[in-house]
């Protein structure tokens, strides 16, 4: 048994040696500028909305809605996956990435019907984000209440 464990460990090291590593510096730079650009576009949208006389809260909400719409539109046009392939976390983390993670399974599972396909599968990727996002906000809320 020990011999098998040794063999597995040795093989793991061999695999590690042979497998190519991704270029972290390049990937970070790409994520930074694309993620930054998405945020800048968000700021731009907020400022435009505010120029029509809306206050900060209203403008923030309308910006979120606009960015989600853009994320969905670019997913439907087969563009967002190419952005994601280039930018990685840069386009996953902003709210456009959240929209992409909802709509892409909805497109993929449309053939399984609107209830068990689109309706149920839409949350396969975004579902955990919602669940743990809500739990985290509850915890933060409780802490905020006491301090």
User: Of the candidates 1, 18, 115, 147, which one interacts with another protein according to CB under 8 A?
Assistant: 18
Give the single-character DSSP code of 29. H
The set of residues, in sequence order, having a beta carbon less than 8 Å from that of 93 and lying 6+ positions away, is 35
User: Of the candidates 20, 25, 115, 146, which one interacts with another protein according to CB under 8 A?
Assistant: 20
Stretch that binds another protein, among 39-47, 60-68, 74-82, 128-136 (CB under 8 A): 74-82
Stretch that binds another protein, among 38-46, 47-55, 61-69, 87-95 (CB under 8 A): 87-95
- CB closer to another protein, 50 vs 121: 121
By CB under 8 A, tell whether 94 contacts another protein.
Answer: no
Helix (H, G, I), strand (E, B) or coil at 47: helix
- CB closer to another protein, 3 vs 55: 3
Stretch that binds another protein, among 39-47, 51-59, 104-112, 131-139 (CB under 8 A): 104-112
Do 101 and 127 form a contact (C-beta atoms < 8 A)? no
Residue 54 has φ and ψ, to the nearest 5°, of -80, 150
- Shortest distance, CB of residue 87 to another protein, whole angstroms? 8
> Among all chains, which residue has been given the structure tokens 């048994």?
1
Whole-Å CA distances, 82 to 45, 103, 139: 23, 15, 36
The set of residues, in sequence order, having a beta carbon less than 8 Å from that of 125 and lying 6+ positions away, is 101, 102, 104, 105
Q: Give contact residues for another protein (rule: CB under 8 A).
A: 7-8, 11-12, 14-15, 18-22, 27, 75-76, 78, 80-85, 87-88, 91-92, 97, 100-101, 103-105, 107-109, 111, 125
């Amino acid at each position: 048994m020990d011999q098998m464990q040794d063999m597995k460990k040795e093989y793991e090291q061999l695999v590690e040696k042979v497998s190519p590593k991704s270029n972290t510096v390049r990937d970070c730079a790409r994520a930074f500028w694309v993620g930054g650009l998405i945020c800048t576009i968000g700021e731009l949208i907020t400022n435009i909305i505010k120029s029509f006389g809306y206050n900060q809260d209203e403008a923030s909400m309308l910006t979120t809605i606009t960015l989600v719409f853009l994320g969905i539109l670019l997913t439907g046009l087969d563009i967002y996956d190419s952005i994601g392939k280039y930018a990685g976390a840069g386009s996953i983390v902003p709210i456009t990435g959240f929209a992409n993670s909802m709509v892409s399974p909805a497109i993929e599972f449309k053939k399984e019907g609107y209830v068990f396909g689109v309706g149920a599968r839409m949350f396969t990727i975004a579902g955990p984000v919602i669940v743990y996002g809500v739990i985290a906000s509850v915890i933060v809320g409780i802490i905020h209440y006491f301090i």
